[in-house]
Amino acid sequence: MISDTVSQHRLRPDDSARAEALAVGRPRGAVPLFVLTVATSLALSGEAEAAPARFTFNIPAKPRSEALIDLGVQARVTLGGASACPGRGKAVVGTLTLRQALDVVTAGAPCRFELLDNATVIIRPVQPASHVARPPVTTHPASTAPTAIDSVIVTATKRPTRLGAAAGGLSVIGEARLGDSGAIDTTSISQQTAGFITTNLGAARNKIMLRGLSDGTFTGRTQQTVGTYLDNIPLTYNAPDPDLRLIDVDRVEILRGPQGALYGGGSLSGVYRIVSNKPVLNERSGSVLVGAAVTESGSPSSRLEGVLNLPLVADRVAARVTAYSDVDGGYVDDVNLRLSNVDRTTRKGGRAAVSVAVNPDWTVLMSGARQDLDATDSQYTTPGLGGQRRANQVRETHENVLQQGAVTITGAGDWGRFVSSTGYVRHRFASRFDATAALNGAGADSVDVGLFDEASKVRLLVEDAVLSSPDTDRFRWLFGLYGLASLEDSDGELRARTIYNPSRLVYLETRRDRRRELALYGETAYDLGGGWTASLGGRAFRSEVHTTSKVEAPAPGQSRDLDRQMRFTGVSPKFSLQKTWGSGGLLYLLTSEGYRSGGFNSGGLVAPSTLRGSFKPDHLRNYEVGASIRPWEGRMILRTALFHDVWTDIQTDQYLSSGLSYTANVGNGRNTGLEVEATVLAARGLTLDANALFNRPRLSKVDLNFASAAQSELPGVPDVSAGAMMRYERSLAPNRRLVLTTELEYVGQSRLTFDRRFSPSMGGYVTGRLSAELALRDWNWTMSVTNPANASSDTFAYGNPFSFGQVRQVTPLRPRTWSLLLSRAF
């Protein structure tokens, strides 16, 4: 949803393209970059005292808050608090230093600017608050009565762009909005963004779906349809969303629609990007937070987190560290195991970053992240048992460990901007399922307990280098080089226990997938005059996959080996035409494309048939017309888009009757829809936000192997979904304020799978959150309740593939939960 506070990103090279560096092992190819980083730092260190950088500005006379946003874009800096500078400013044209340009815009205004470092500017009223440090994640600016909604700068387009000035569906949730809504994970984002849906199998087991484009609930060999990024580094390839904790986050950016031109494979329906706060030079600050929660008919939860920003070398080096530990209490009872609240989840992790300002134009950032998540059981239930209950033979545990590290070298000047991001990701996850029902259904003798254990270890090495022209040129361009190398080792083991044999092997597969991708991409934009701009971009790519597999399956199964490889090449184009107005309005036409590579099937008790031995690439073509307007003197922002998507050879992960998975092309699909997002400053201190998606995701042509799916809708994505949020802020006394928020989310009806025979209707529910926050100087108390109506509707998830079709499975919403948070900034 549109952010109602300024959430500007560091728009100089410092973090317009970020990567993370973590000591989790040094892959081949990382040493040369590290050497280059050190060499560059040494070579340029002598220039640290060079004259301030000068930028070419072209900003016409306009309201100062808008002019400051444009200044931040053109100078590539973080700029916050633009709404504190009212009135109309003078034009800024020519080559000036950052300070000179700020002097021109703020001349005669009741505001002033502060340069926190060479990449961060804060705008404050003439009479500033006593506490001037940047607010941490759990605090918010003092109450004001803005006359317009601040614009927000986004960088997911790989060039700093004002929200509302970019062609395409784009949403931003800023730091303050994340705090107001209590958003701490991926699922929390769905209530605030049009067409953002997640499955509900459990933390770090879910899939993200955008714009009604779903390939099903299962996570197998297919690459995800939505690319998940921490800053500029992808977190996954074909793994479930790691559900990275949203702590110390500057903002979340969501790009809807295929992003193949800039992001390549795995961004077929969009990109979900987490932008972290970066170290701030010459500022010592931090925050701590503790919290507790109680779930009705469940066990208690707890939360602990801390953030610390430290200057290490004056004007040159700073570090930022975050750490957290969460416990989500369970609420599902297992009557067979005689256990209550079995689905307890713990999540621990943190991030660390060091930023080095080599000189005013060049920066090196090294950072790392780690998260360990452990779930003691899954969270689906069996309705026939009543309440939040089910009857399994074993606990279905899940572990998920994500490590990420990266180095980013960035530079900018009158010549443009260069960003080189190198990242390494190590992702391990493992799950256990109760396979008793499937083994008994297959005719096995007296199976007391069936166990299926699967585990994967994924390593990604990514390089993304981008060179772009100055933002003020009439003809603008960017050119990028992208490389990815991944290695995935996965194991799947199925065992049975009978009265005669305590442990019998039914199936064992060890598999390795090597992937390589190389791509050249670029985008150009030309100002045609009269506010019209034409943009053309594309990505030429080549990807390779090499799969080896060894299957051991005692009779009547088939033991076998597989060794196959395949290469894919192609071009993913993008074109847009847009018209902008001085008031901030935008009208655009857009066509874009996304893709995913193909691969091989190797699993199953017997060898896959010729038709199922491999799966083809799929492609999505998007046609879109959209608009963004700012009526009522900027007190409202309205963005809407009408789109039509054509999806060919849809890849989907499915399960055999044995419960083992395979991937197939189900056919062709289409979706036509309308998405709307709006933010309104309705009154002093009162902000209203709303979003909605109306669409019809359907299969238009069904593969012969999926005849039962004929004329079916795409699974798990409703025809209608909507969300709303109301925020009211009131000052009670100096340094005291009260913030009240109300959230509502509606998820329409949908079906779980492509096959109607095994796909009962689900969804059609309303949920929400109520909260009250009291801020006293540096202290914050927040009381909230989620799912206040205690709705228990069936959400989109596939609980257990080994009992699906035999036992009715429901994944309910988390019951009503009360929470209390206490935080302090220092």
What is the distance between the alpha carbons of residues 403 and 228, in angstroms, rounded to a whole number?
A: 14
- How do 389-390 and 333-334 pair as beta strands? parallel
DSSP-derived 3-state class of residue 801: coil
Whether 819 has a pLDDT exceeding 60, the answer reads yes
Q: Between residues 457 and 217, which one has the greater pLDDT?
A: 457
Per mean pLDDT, which of 239-248, 546-555, 574-583 is the most reliable? 546-555
- Please give the full DSSP string across 138-204, using - where no structure is assigned: T--PPP---SSPPP-EE-TTSS-EETTSSSSEEEEEEHHHHHHHT--SHHHHGGGSTTEEE--S-TT
Peptide bond connecting 556 to the previous residue in cis, omega within 30 degrees of 0? yes
pLDDT band (50, 70, 90) for residue 444: low
**Each residue's pLDDT tens digit, 619-648:** 999 999 999 998 887 889 999 999 999 999
**Mean pLDDT estimate for the chain:** 85
Q: Between residues 476 and 656, which one has the greater pLDDT?
A: 476
pLDDT of the residue at 203: 87
How confident is the model over 55-74, as a mean pLDDT? 79
pLDDT band (50, 70, 90) for residue 686: very high
139-148, 373-382, 575-584: the lowest-pLDDT one = 139-148
24-28, 160-164, 574-578, 607-611: the lowest-pLDDT one = 24-28
Structural domains of the chain, with CATH: 261-825 (2.40.170.20)
DSSP type of residue 609 = P
Of 801, 730, 816, the closest CA to residue 767 belongs to 816
* Percentage of the residues of the chain whose pLDDT score is greater than 70: 88
> What share of residues in the chain are helix, strand, coil (percent, to 5)?
10, 55, 35
* Cβ pair 160, 479 in contact under 8 A: no
pLDDT of the residue at 27: 38
304-313, 364-373, 574-583: the lowest-pLDDT one = 574-583
289-293, 399-403, 503-507, 641-645: the lowest-pLDDT one = 503-507
Which residues are within 8 A (CB) of 443 and not within 5 positions of it... i.e. 6 or more apart? none
Angle of helix 98-106 relative to helix 64-75, nearest 10 degrees? 170
**Each residue's pLDDT tens digit, 780-797:** 999 999 999 998 888 887
How confident is the model over 747-763, as a mean pLDDT? 80
Q: Exposed, middle or buried: residue 39 (CB in 10 Å: 0-12, 13-18, 19+)?
A: exposed
Which residues are within 8 A (CB) of 138 and not within 5 positions of it... i.e. 6 or more apart? 179, 287, 289, 780, 821, 823, 825
pLDDT of the residue at 708: 60
Which residues are within 8 A (CB) of 460 and not within 5 positions of it... i.e. 6 or more apart? 234, 237, 423, 424, 425, 426, 427, 484, 485, 486
Residue 288: φ, ψ to 5°: -135, 150
How confident is the model over 237-264, as a mean pLDDT? 91
Of 378, 367, 288, the closest CA to residue 324 belongs to 288
**Each residue's pLDDT tens digit, 253-284:** 999 999 999 999 889 999 999 999 999 888 89
What is the distance between the alpha carbons of residues 717 and 334, in angstroms, rounded to a whole number?
A: 29
Whether 577 has a pLDDT exceeding 50, the answer reads yes
CA 387 remoteness from chain centre: 33
Tell me the two tokens of residue 596: 């995913």
